[in-house]
Amino acid sequence: MAQLPLPLSFDKRFSFQNYVSEQSAFVSQSLIALFDETGEPLVGLWGGADCGKTHLMNACAHYARHCHVPFHLFDALQLVDADANSFSGFPDGSVIGVDNIDLLAGNRSWEERFYQLINRVKAGELRFVFSLSRNPRDIGFRLPDLKSRLMWGLLIALPSTDDGQLVKVLKTRAQLLGLKLSDEVIAYLLSHYSRKLSEQMSLLYLLDQASLSKKRKITIPLIRETCAPSL
């Protein structure tokens, strides 16, 4: 098996400040409390595609760096073919983050490793934040004790983004980039391109670069020049 990959470099575009959700305050405060050692030491985030799981994992890394807390962030996809035995030796006081942990369900070696890691969390040595696509009770972990361990801490169900929320996210992210999106522009983006949040964010960053390079506001003509319609 391959050795353990290096922890992920976090995406600086994502923070708690630009996470938009009906429960953004509760989610952000719960994760901040994990790092500040004033809340639950084990937090799980679960939900479907484009609900903000990866955004929040990167926001955790952003916050940890700001507070000088040792944080080790991994995507389970990069761990699948790695040696589970090398996923150890984290110093006391560290926070471990694993995105998409359900991808490792059924892998006995990794399940045993996470069981041991959570035992360290219960002993007060580490803190752990993870994300998955469904509630742990509905995922096919072979180790029953791991499933109960994953449900031991705070589990947060993240709601999917509806159209109203998507408009709010677009406006908020645009403001943080120093951009102003008119209602006409937003309506055009939602009617001519995928409504998936991740794809709308990619369009927004692409338009930001085009606006800067051409020194133009984001208008429908600029969108047409920059992005080929996907619908």
Q: What is the pLDDT of residues 26-66, one digit of tens each?
A: 999 999 999 999 999 999 999 988 788 989 999 999 999 99
Give the relative orientation of helices 24-36 and 53-67 as an angle to the nearest 10 degrees.
Answer: 40
Rounded Cα distance between 72 and 83, Å, is 17
For residue 55, how far is the Cα from the chain centroid? 3
Q: What is the pTM of this model?
A: 0.77
Q: For residue 112, what pLDDT is reported?
A: 95
Superfamily of domain 24-157: P-loop containing nucleotide triphosphate hydrolases (3.40.50.300)
Beta carbons within 8 Å of 62's beta carbon, 6+ residues apart: 10, 12, 14, 15, 16
Give the relative orientation of helices 163-176 and 197-214 as an angle to the nearest 10 degrees.
Answer: 30
Q: For residue 1, what pLDDT is reported?
A: 45
Q: With 60 as the cut, is the pLDDT of residue 228 above it?
A: yes
List residues bridging with 44 in a β-sheet: 130, 155
Element (H, E) at 174: helix 163-176
Contact 2, 83 (CB under 8 A): yes
**Higher pLDDT, residue 134 or 174:** 134
Q: For residue 180, what pLDDT is reported?
A: 84
- The domain limits of the chain are 24-157, 163-226
Element (H, E) at 117: helix 108-122
Q: pLDDT tens digits for 83-111?
A: 998 898 899 999 999 999 999 999 999 99
Q: What is the largest CA-CA distance in the chain?
A: 59
**Residue 43 phi, psi dihedral angles, 5° rounding:** -130, 130
When pLDDT is cut at 50, 70 and 90, the band that residue 5 belongs to is low
Task: Detail the DSSP E strand segments found in 12-158.
Answer: 42-46, 71-75, 95-99, 127-132, 154-157
Q: pLDDT tens digits for 117-168?
A: 999 999 999 999 999 999 998 999 999 899 999 999 999 998 876 667 778 8
Q: 206-212: long-range contacts (C-beta < 8 A, 24 or more apart)?
A: 207/179, 208/177, 208/179, 211/179
DSSP 3-state of 39:
coil
Beta carbons within 8 Å of 44's beta carbon, 6+ residues apart: 129, 130, 131, 132, 136, 150, 151, 153, 154, 155, 156
Mean pLDDT of the chain: 88
- Show the tokens assigned to 60: 């955790």
Q: With 50 as the cut, is the pLDDT of residue 195 above it?
A: yes
Q: With 60 as the cut, is the pLDDT of residue 171 above it?
A: yes
Contact 141, 44 (CB under 8 A): no
Contact 201, 173 (CB under 8 A): yes
